[in-house]
Structure 1
Amino acid sequence: MKIYKTSDGYCVYGIKKDKKLCFLADRFDYGNEIKKLLDTLEGLTFDSLIFIFGLDTGSYLPFMKELLCERNRVIIFEPNPEICKKSGTKLEDNITLVPFEENQVKQIFENTIHFKNINHIYFYAFGNYSSIYKEEYERLIELLDWTMINAASQVDLAKRFKKIFIQNMIANMNALNRCTPIHRCRLSNLNVPALVVSGGPSLDSNIRDMLSHKDKLDRYFIITGSRTVEALTKNGILPDMIVSVDPVDANFDMMKSCLDLEAPLAFYEYSNRYLVKNYKGEKIFISLLFSQTVEGFENYQGVFCGGSVAHACIDIANLIGCSPIIFLGQDFAHTYQKHHADSAVFDYDKNLPYQTTVVVKDVYGNPVGTTVTLDHYRRRLEHYISLYKDQKRIRFINCSYGAEIEGAPHKELAEVFEDEPTVRQKRNFIPSREIHMDGKKTIDSLLQFIEEYRVKASQCLELCEIIRSENQTKSLIEVEETDIDLQRILYILKVVSDFENHTNTKYLGGYFSEFVFEMKEKTFHMPAEDYNELTSDLQHQAKSFHIYFEQMKEMLENVNQIILETVTEFY
């Protein structure tokens, strides 16, 4: 690696790649490379997050810095170890250089991209990096796309189900003391093969194979979601565990004829409250929220939720030690031009869009239609499987006929029954009533929190109105520390910070994430170049926070009403 002078006075690295000299950017018009980067960053907001692939000599840094404000963050991924060694990691206070390493890149994306900034992410591959480091670049794009899709789907999910999430969470608190935490099932069925049953079009064929080998089913641990319980029981196949993570009432309707089964029902905070309340069998609690909010719940475990109940079923099969984990009806595609198996279709499906929008390869290498959502679920499952590729204990087998699932080779279910050894006897789990939660006390604490911040929102609204009525034009960075308006703004900022970072805010779920998203997009949308001016402008701040606290009060009052209605129904 060597530094070369460019024709227009900059410096560029030249490296040997495949015995050829390659320049990491244009040696003749380096200024144009910098311009293309700066053009890409046009429209930066104060909270924009910028990812760049390639540092080269760093000649673009001084120009890029001029576009940034103190709240912006830049992360530069560098695939060349020599450049990383020469440059160090901290280039500026808000500019970091990170060696390209796949797991680290993935971790950074997951830790930095979320519902608050999803619309303010910038990415640029500098110079010739995308062609010289083609493999790394393509993997980087894949990881970024995956993270963005995941974050966007979480925002959409939270907004669509924000009310029912609150209702389910409040109601399900009342069931916890009669449940066993999922970690008590850990390794309870070590090396027992698991059949994970999903409702894809292949299920009908898989059920026929199950019935042909019914005498062997007692050697397999059968895990299924709500949709497919009836399809199994109608054929005399009893599941060993039912998993329900979907919040909507349709999940209760799917299970209406199966509420008296002995198989335990695994659920989490947002699972449908009517199903959790009315299911007669044992219940297993999966904690995704309360482990973060309830004292004493810190060690309660969650499971992998990749968008489909199948992900949770597969992770539970792994948690209890099963291997191989065998996928049935796990198509992730419109196999046979169907969205679900005939045995797993309900009236609920008539109102859902199932149009084919993407084509992928099926288990035989042939094209099959699917949707962006289903394909995203498939990719998430493939990522999950990849985490265990080096572990000998666990194997995955796909007996479905839909999309190919990398890491889970396809095999006929009939062959699995004939070829796979079943040396361990499956075991039922032993109930453990160790959860102690005072639902009413937790709800009272949440209601007190809501009332406290409703009052504080009113106080802050009053302060904003006073500032606006006095109509004083001030720069908050130029006034004395004792200035009354500065003190008012500081109090407002403290209320906002305390509210947004409070543990109880997590209970607000989609209401909170939608509220913050809307505030960022509309009320507090500031170009980076105007950040210092607008944040120090007294009247601008008062106007923006007035809108913030009006919307905050409305949100809190809505959530308060939903909680009270749910308490009346379930307590």
Structure 2
Amino acid sequence: MINCYTLDKTKDNYNILKINKDDKKLYLGSKYKENEEVNKIIENQGIITENTNYIVFGIGTGNLVRELIKRKDKNSKIIIVEVDEKLLEFIIENKAVEDLINRSDIIITSKVNDMLDNAGKVINEMNVEFFRMIETTNYAKLYSKQLTEYFSAIKEFIVKVCIERNTIKMFSLEWYNTLLENMKFYAYGKSILEYKDKYKDRPAIIVSAGPSLNKNIDLLKSNTNNLIITGGRPLKALCEKNIKPDFLTIVDSSEASFDIVKDWIENIKCPLVMNETTSSQATKIHKGEKIVATRNKFIKRVFDNKIDTIDYGGSVAHSMTYFAMEMGCNPIIFIGQDLAFTNNKGHADGIEQFENNLDGYGRAEDIYIDDIYGEKVRTSLVLNNFRLQLETLIKLRENITFINATEGGANINGTIVMKLEEVLEKYCLNDFNKVTLKESISENRTGKIVKELENILSSMKECKKIAKEAIKIFKEYKNTYYLNKNEKLNSLNNKLNKLDLKLKKSYADTEILNDLVFDAMYTINNNKKYLINLTDSKSEIVKKKFDKNEDIYVVTVELMEMIIPKMEEEIKKILMI
């Protein structure tokens, strides 16, 4: 049935849209009390703050959006998603939303991908918790099937942003300390780019510790015509079965990531693929070659940009996969890559450091997705996000065959599902030389590293100095404001603006502090005592702004005082190498 759209008037004199769809006739709004209905929807969103952004599903005649514009902060954005393109054409042609179309704070879209692209420009780690999703009245009753895809997509996007935010907040200080402690290995380590295409068209097996690993790990004993790339968690199982990996990859800085390898890594002879966040305890006791990667600009300068990152997703599996891709491996074979709670387990048996049942892993927000057999399997939001990121990574290399030989777990789009035994018989028949680059002499980059770190240290000290000066001037500015000495305010304001510009420049020169700075600024920007609500009085707004700005300077000083000693200590250690 062709949808029929009609413009009408409500009893309280609002324009309203009537839709005849699939034998359903409904108004997008309230025919009798539109003003009351719109206000109720907005009030149900809770407190509106300066950080709040919105996605509104269903454009209607724009009544909901117009009221939202009146109440929102001037910098907040509204993304209007209209899933019915013909409805959108009708509304625009009839000039029902002409006042909304060219506003800088309004984005109107209809496609899922366009919605996600625009959401990415508006919603980020700093403001994600203030994001609000609103529906026009009766919209879900008419478009429930279409909305399922949109809701699923935006949920995946929000989950990804939240995971990234939570990860930074949890590990920012640990990453900083780990990076500095790992610098000595960047002085002599092999750049990941030195391995580019070294194993062109050779099969690589990516070993993860999912619940299904026990099904086929023993098959790796008898067939060595492949590269085995493992993460830290499966290392114990491999070593106990006398299976020698060709590359060990660790990208996690946590104590737990070291605990699972500490009894085995010292005797592992294969290279360690690492980045700046790899456990520094693991890098210290690993005796073999180090293959280094980075996303840090200052380390890239040390390597004259002849180095790459392996941070292509949230887990070590993504890093291992990207490394195999860079080496030219084909096919790339996954085992133990369940990305789900297969048989209600979180990982392969025999890894005692972790709970292995849903009591230890399961969460109320877990979801069910398709497994490799077309059935449903339980997974977490984090694991599902890993799956989606792995699928995105796979799409980067259409010339490579990716095989899911896990024999259980989630279906991974872009992979061929096969049993490992069949894979080995088909793709792993020919022997080949497995050589590392250990024999070649590495460049000594110690001098370059120290120079870069000393420059960063200088900028850190400058940040501290500027922030201390700003605290003094800002206190004077506050006193002057409350004493109504307006003639002096402009002079003090100009001084603060100049200091802010200097501070911003010095922060830019301390790029390795980005995560720490984010953590500090997030805490301030999202502190309820500083959040400006649209109901705040002028005096309340002024006080919140004053307190927030002063806290930014204070936190800057405290942050620098905490991290400068570590930088000075590690520079001395590097010079002693």
TM score, norm. by length of structure 2? 0.83
Deviation at 1:38, TM superposition (A): 2.2
Classify the secondary structure of the residue corresponding to 1:107.
helix
Closer/same/farther in 2, CA of residues 111 and 295 from structure 1, 3 Å limit: farther
Distance, in Å, in 2 between the alignment partners of 1:568 and 1:51 is: 52
Render the CA deviation track for 1:241-286: whole Å, top value 9, x for unaligned. Answer: 2211010244445055334544332111111123334433332222
Closer/same/farther in 2, CA of residues 486 and 291 from structure 1, 3 Å limit: closer
In structure 2, the residue matched to 1:268 is 275
Q: Residue type matched to 2:274 in 1?
A: F
Deviation at 1:375, TM superposition (A): 4.1
Classify the secondary structure of the residue corresponding to 1:66.
helix
What are the residue-to-residue correspondences of 1:314-329 with 2, within 5 Å? 314-329=321-336
Deviation at 1:314, TM superposition (A): 2.1
In structure 2, the residue matched to 1:102 is 112
Classify the secondary structure of the residue corresponding to 2:73.
coil
Q: Residue type matched to 1:290 in 2?
A: K
In structure 2, the residue matched to 1:280 is 287
Q: Residue type matched to 2:202 in 1?
A: V
Q: For structure 1, which runs of at least 5 residues remain unmatched after alignment? A: none
Distance, in Å, in 2 between the alignment partners of 1:38 and 1:251 is: 46
Q: Residue type matched to 1:554 in 2?
A: E
1:72 maps onto 2:76 in alignment? yes
Contact 1:166 1:563 in 2 (8 A): no
1:246 maps onto 2:252 in alignment? yes
Contact 2:404 2:412 in 1 (8 A): no
Deviation at 1:483, TM superposition (A): 2.6
Name the Cα RMSD after superposition: 3.7
Deviation at 1:513, TM superposition (A): 2.1
Closer/same/farther in 2, CA of residues 296 and 205 from structure 1, 3 Å limit: closer
1:519 maps onto 2:518 in alignment? no
Contact 1:115 1:513 in 2 (8 A): no
Worse overlay, 522-531 or 309-318: 522-531
Closer/same/farther in 2, CA of residues 375 and 67 from structure 1, 3 Å limit: same
TM score, norm. by length of structure 1? 0.84
Contact 1:333 1:403 in 2 (8 A): yes
In structure 1, the residue matched to 2:339 is 332
1:175 maps onto 2:185 in alignment? yes
Closer/same/farther in 2, CA of residues 366 and 53 from structure 1, 3 Å limit: closer
Contact 2:367 2:381 in 1 (8 A): no
Structure of greater relative contact order (alpha carbons < 8 Å, 6+ residues apart): 1
Closer/same/farther in 2, CA of residues 414 and 295 from structure 1, 3 Å limit: closer
Render the CA deviation track for 1:330-388: whole Å, top value 9, x for unaligned. Answer: 22344455433244444x779x9824334646544666555444344334434544x46
Classify the secondary structure of the residue corresponding to 2:551.
helix
Deviation at 1:289, TM superposition (A): 2.6
Distance, in Å, in 2 between the alignment partners of 1:318 and 1:344 is: 28
1:55 maps onto 2:65 in alignment? no
Contact 2:188 2:445 in 1 (8 A): no
Contact 1:223 1:313 in 2 (8 A): yes
Render the CA deviation track for 1:37-69: whole Å, top value 9, x for unaligned. Answer: 422444111122222223233233432221122
Closer/same/farther in 2, CA of residues 202 and 174 from structure 1, 3 Å limit: same
Distance, in Å, in 2 between the alignment partners of 1:370 and 1:62 is: 40
Deviation at 1:487, TM superposition (A): 2.8
Render the CA deviation track for 1:510-567: whole Å, top value 9, x for unaligned. Answer: 43222111111225311145497766x4x65443322222222111111113333444
Classify the secondary structure of the residue corresponding to 1:247.
coil
Distance, in Å, in 2 between the alignment partners of 1:6 and 1:188 is: 71
Percentage of matched positions with identical amino acids:
21
Classify the secondary structure of the residue corresponding to 1:327.
strand
In structure 1, the residue matched to 2:216 is 206
Distance, in Å, in 2 between the alignment partners of 1:429 and 1:102 is: 46
Render the CA deviation track for 1:135-194: whole Å, top value 9, x for unaligned. Answer: 542233223222322222223222332332111111222222423333443444344332
Classify the secondary structure of the residue corresponding to 2:277.
coil
Classify the secondary structure of the residue corresponding to 2:526.
helix
Moved over 6 A (4+): 19-22, 87-90
Aligned length in residues: 556
Contact 1:332 1:402 in 2 (8 A): yes
Deviation at 1:108, TM superposition (A): 3.0
Classify the secondary structure of the residue corresponding to 2:67.
helix
Distance, in Å, in 1 between the alignment partners of 2:403 and 2:257 is: 27
Render the CA deviation track for 1:419-477: whole Å, top value 9, x for unaligned. Answer: 447679576465785795722122212221111111111111111222344462559xx
In structure 2, the residue matched to 1:116 is 126
Distance, in Å, in 1 between the alignment partners of 2:342 and 2:472 is: 60
What are the residue-to-residue correspondences of 1:129-278 with 2, within 5 Å? 129-211=139-221, 214=222, 216-218=223-225, 220-253=226-259, 254-259=261-266, 261-278=268-285
